[in-house]
Structure 1
Amino acid sequence: MNPQQSVTPVDYLRAVRQRWRLVLLVVALCAGTALGVSLSSEKQYDATAQLLLRGQEPADALFDPGGSAGARDPERALNTEVQLIKIGPTAHLVRRELGLGRTTDELLEQVEVTTSSTSDIVDLQVRDPNPMMAARIANALADAYVQFRVESARERYREAADLAQRQLLALSGPDRRTPEGLELQARRRDLLIAAGLQTGGATVVRRASIPVSAARPRPKLAAAIGIVLGFLLGIAAALALNLIDRRLKDEHQVEQFFGLPILAAIPRPLRRAAAFDDPAQREAYGLLAANLRSAEVGKESSVIMITSPSPADGKTSVTIGAARAYARLGLSVIVIEADLRRPAFGRYTDVSFSAGVTGVLAGGSLANELLWLDADTLLPSEGTDGAIGVLPAGDVPDNPQRTLSDPRMRLVIEIARSMADVVLIDSAPLGTVNDATVLAPLVEAIALVARINQTTRDAARRAMRTVANLDANALGVVVTDAGGGARHEYYAPVPARGAAATPGGSRRAATPTEASTRP
C-alpha cells in the first residue's frame, strides 16, 4: 500500500511527453530569437593572407658559425614570430599607411593569426564589415610584417658590421694586416653585403582576396544552435514544472503515488451532455463494477465506501456510475449519501429528496426514506427491479461528523446490506474532514477516486496515510477525466444511414458535466 518513491528515467520521459507543447514552444522561441538576432547582426567578412616563415638564412652563419642557432625549438620559434605579427609596431604601420580611424588595439582585435602543425605557413586573417577593407588590412599587415622582418635583419647585420669596424679601428696600422685584422675586414665586408641581400625570412605566399560572402552571421548555424538549446531548455522547463506542478497527470502517476491498482479509468465524455450515456463511460463503469465485484467474491452482499483525497475529484459521479453498472448486471444496489457537508445527489436528478440519512438517524425508517430510481434515467421507478435505491443526505447538520458517529449509522448500513447485493457509500473526502474515518470501520472495503489534473501527489500520499492508519481494505483507485485515446474513439456514435435525428422530449437527470461544481 506504500506508494513508490523512486523516480526512473521513464518517469522523466513521461513528464517531457506530457508537456511536449511547452518543449516545442521553447524550441520555437529559442530558434526564432537566434535566427532574428543573426539576421539583424552586422555582416562581417574574413580576408586571409598567408606567410611563409623560414628558419635560419645562409648569411646567419656569419653570426653562428657552429649552426647552434638552427637547433632551437622550431615550434617555439614559430610562436615567437606569431607574437611579432601581433605586436603594436606592425599594426601601427598598417594603421598609419591605410589611414584607419581606429586605435592600434582595435585593429589588433580584428586580427587572428593561426599556425599549422605540419608546415611553416601562417594564416593572417582579418575580419571587417567592409570586405574590401578586410582584404586591404590583411595584405597591408602581411607586407608590413615582411618589411619589419627585413628591416630588423638588416639592422642586425649593420650593427654587426659596425662592431667589426670599431674592432678594426682599435687595431694599430701594422696590426690591421695581421690575420686577425684581415679577418675583421673580410667579416665587415660580408656583413654589409648580407645586409643588402636580407629578405627577413618571411614571404607572402598568398595575398588576401576580397571575400564574396560574409563569414558572420550564419543564420542556419544560429537557428540550429537555437533549436538544440531550446530543446534542452524545454526539457529542463518541463522537468521543472513537473516538480512544481503536484497534480497527477496520468494513470501511471495515480498508480505510483497511491500504490494501488487502477480499478477503472473513466474518460471524459465525447459530448458535454453525454456523461453517463457516453458509450466509453458506460464501458468503464461496467469494468469498475466487475472489478469491485471480483474483489468481493464469496460474499452475499458487500458494503463499499467511495471517497477521494480532496473535493472535486468526482467521487459522487463514480458512485452513481458504479451503481448504474451494478443494476445493469442484475444486482440490487443501494447508494447512501454520507457526504453530509456537500450533498450532491440532487444535481443528477430532478427528484425531490426526502429527509435522507439525517432523517433516518433521527428516528425515521430506512424503507420509507429510500428512493428507488430507474438506473437509466435516474427518475423514480415503479419497482425495485433494475432500480437503484438511494438514501440521500437529507438536511445538512451542524456537526456532520458527530451525526455520522451515531451508533444507529451502523444499523442503517446493516439494514441496507440485508436489502441489497451491494451497498455503496458516498463519503466526504479523506483529506478534507474526518467523516470518512468514522465510516471506515463500518464498511468492508474502500475505493478511492482521483481526477487527472486535479488530485495532487501530496493529497494522494495523505489519503494513503489515512487509509493505512485506519487499517482499511483499499481495493484500488478509480481515475476520472482519464484520456480516452483510441479506445474512447472506438465508442464514438456513428449515425445510421438515413436515420432521423434523435427525438427529444424524454425526461432525464442532469449529468455531472452539467453540474456547476463537482463533489
Structure 2
Amino acid sequence: MDLHDYYRVVRKRWRTIAACTLLLVALAALMTLSSPKTYQARTQLFVSTSGGSDSTQLLQGNVFTQQRVKSYADLINTPTVLNPVIKQLGLDMSPDALGGKITSNVPLDTVLIDVLVTDRDPERAARIADAVGKQFSTTVGELERVSDSAPSPVKVSVVRPAAVPGGPISPNPTRNIGLGVVLGLLVGLGAALLRDTFDTSVKSERDVKDATDETVLGGIAFSNDGAKQPLIIQSDPHGPRAEAFRSLRTNLQFVDVANHPRSIVFTSSLPGEGKTTTTANLAISMAAAGARVCVIEGDLRRPRLLQYMGMEGSVGLTNVLIGQADLEDVIQPFGDTGVQVLGAGQIPPNPSELLGSETMARVLRQLEQMFDYVIIDAPPVLPVTDATVLSTITGGVVVVAGCGVVAKEQLSRTIASIKGVNGNVLGVVVNRIPTRGANAETYYYGEGYAPLSPDRSRRERSRDRQGVRV
C-alpha cells in the first residue's frame, strides 16, 4: 500500500478510527480515576571521607568514596537499615515490603545518593524518607568503623531533607490520556486496515481493476433518484450521469474495432447492480447519435425493462421464439427516440433453453441485419445461466458492476463463467459509483476535463445554478 491507499482508508474508515480512539481514551480516563494515588518523597545523601594532608591523599579518598557509594546505594534496602526504621515509625510491614517502596540511585561521577520513597500517604512517604536517611548515616558509620576506639573514615550527611510531596506522581492524567490517544489511533488505524483488507466489495473503478484485467468501459455515478427516474438520459439530459452514458456509448464504438459486435449482452453478477437501467439509457444515447438500435428484454425471469420505459409487453420475444408471432409485429418504438424495443413477452418455464436455441440465434441474426446495434438486457450470471448462454450466440458481453452490491470475487467468477463458454467479454461498466466519501469519483465536463473532488463538484453545481457559469 502507498500513501494514497492509507489516506483513502483513513477517509473511508474514519469512524472506526475515531471509535477506537474514544474507547482507548475512555479506558485511560477510567483507569486514571480508579487507580490509587501514589506520592513520592525524596531525600539526598552526601558521602565524604576523612580529609588528608596532601593532594594525593585527597585524590585517594575521593576515589575510595566513589567506589563505596555504589555499594551504599544497594545497602539502603537491607534489613540492617530498614528494621530500625520500621521500629522507629511503628510500621506494620516487613523489611522486604518496605524495601519495595524505596529506590536509590547514584548520579554519575558524584558521591551523592538519591533516596526515593513512594507511598499512598504523602506524609508517611516523607517520614519514611527522612528516617531512612538518618538511619543510613548511622548504619554506615557503624559498618565502616574498624574498631570501637577509631572513628569511621566515612561520613554520610543528609543534604536534602525529605519534604511532604505536593501532588501524586501517579496516576498522571496528562500522560495516560496522551497514551490513550496514541494507542487509540494506532489500534483504530490497524482495525481500519484490517476491515479494508477483508472488505472485498467493489466500491470504485479501482476495485474493479483489482478484480479483473478487463477494460473499464465507463463509470456511472450513484443517484438517489435512480429508482424514481431510471431514464436519466431523458429526465436530465445535461447532467453528469447522462454524460457518463454518452461516454460509455463512445467507448463501445471503439471496442474490438476489427470485429465490431452488432449484438451486445448487458448482464451483471447479481441482481440490483443496475444492468437494466444501464441498458435502457445506453440504447437511448446510441439512438440519439443516429444509430439504429433495438433493445431486447432478454431477462425472461424478472423482466423490468418495459416497466422502466413505461411500455406494455403482453407479447414479445417468447412469442416469436415459439412461433406465435412474427418479429416485425412485436417490435415497438419507444416514443420519438428512435429506439425499437422487443419485450420479453410471457414468462416461459424454460428460459435458458429458449435463449440458447437455434431460433434465438436466427432472430439475433435477423435483428443484426435490421439494426446497427442489438442490445440485450440479460439476467445476472451467478444466479442463472441465461446470460452465459446468450454470450455464445452474440457479439460480446458487457458486465455491469454495481458498487456496494457485488464483491471482487463474484465479479471475477462472472467473467470466468462467460469466458468458460468462449464468450467475448467486451468490458465492464462500473455503476453506482459513490459521489461522496473516500471512494467518490465525480467527473464533470468543465475546465481541464479532469475529475473534480466532491467539494469542488458541489461548488461548480452551485455556481451553475446561480448563473455564474453556463
Q: TM-score by structure 2 length?
A: 0.83
Shift in alpha-carbon separation, 1:337–1:209, aligned structure 2, 3 A: same
Match of 2:447 in 1: none
Find the aligned partners of 1:346 and 1:104 in 2 and give their Cα distance: 92
* TM alignment of 1:14-25, pairs within 5 A: 14-25=8-19
Match of 1:459 in 2: 410
Match of 1:368 in 2: 329
Checking the alignment, whether the CA contact within 8 Å between 2:283 and 2:375 is kept in structure 1 is yes
Match of 1:473 in 2: 424
Code of the aligned partner of 1:358 = T
State which drifts further: 32-41 or 441-450.
32-41
2:297 maps to 1:333: no
* TM alignment of 1:370-389, pairs within 5 A: 370-373=331-334, 381=335, 385-389=336-340
Question: How many equivalent residue pairs?
Answer: 436
SS state of the match for residue 429, structure 1? coil
Match of 1:227 in 2: 181
SS state of the match for residue 118, structure 1? coil
> Deviation per CA, 1:41-79, whole angstroms, max 9, x where unpaired?
33322221112234x6579xxxxx9x999988956x544
How far the C-alpha of 1:493 sits from its partner, in A, is 9.9
Match of 1:157 in 2: 147
Checking the alignment, whether the CA contact within 8 Å between 1:280 and 1:491 is kept in structure 2 is no
Code of the aligned partner of 1:208 = A
How far the C-alpha of 1:22 sits from its partner, in A, is 1.1
Shift in alpha-carbon separation, 1:301–1:246, aligned structure 2, 3 A: closer
Match of 1:447 in 2: 398
Root-mean-square deviation over aligned CA pairs: 3.0
How far the C-alpha of 1:258 sits from its partner, in A, is 1.8
2:219 maps to 1:265: yes
Find the aligned partners of 2:463 and 2:329 in 1 and give their Cα distance: 40
Match of 1:504 in 2: none
SS state of the match for residue 442, structure 1? coil
Find the aligned partners of 2:100 and 2:293 in 1 and give their Cα distance: 86
Checking the alignment, whether the CA contact within 8 Å between 2:66 and 2:111 is kept in structure 1 is no
Q: Among all aligned residue pairs of Structure 1 and Structure 2, give the percentage whose two residues are the same amino acid.
A: 30
Structure 1 unaligned residues grouped into runs of 5+: 1-6, 60-64, 159-191, 374-380, 498-519
> Deviation per CA, 1:86-124, whole angstroms, max 9, x where unpaired?
123323322222223444333322222222223222221
Which of residues 31, 38, 41 is equivalent to 2:35?
A: 41
Checking the alignment, whether the CA contact within 8 Å between 2:66 and 2:110 is kept in structure 1 is no
> Deviation per CA, 1:438-494, whole angstroms, max 9, x where unpaired?
111222222111111221121122123224434443232211221224376445796
Match of 1:306 in 2: 266
Find the aligned partners of 2:101 and 2:386 in 1 and give their Cα distance: 78
Checking the alignment, whether the CA contact within 8 Å between 1:300 and 1:421 is kept in structure 2 is no
2:348 maps to 1:394: no
> Deviation per CA, 1:280-331, whole angstroms, max 9, x where unpaired?
2212112111211232557787221111222222211211121122222232
Match of 1:83 in 2: 74
Find the aligned partners of 2:229 and 2:166 in 1 and give their Cα distance: 68
Q: TM-score by structure 1 length?
A: 0.76
Point out the structure with max Rg over C-alpha: 1
2:134 maps to 1:143: yes
How far the C-alpha of 1:233 sits from its partner, in A, is 0.8
Structure 2 unaligned residues grouped into runs of 5+: 436-441, 443-453
Shift in alpha-carbon separation, 1:72–1:202, aligned structure 2, 3 A: closer
How far the C-alpha of 1:433 sits from its partner, in A, is 2.5
Code of the aligned partner of 2:82 = A
Which of residues 93, 96, 99 is equivalent to 2:90?
A: 99
Match of 1:236 in 2: 190
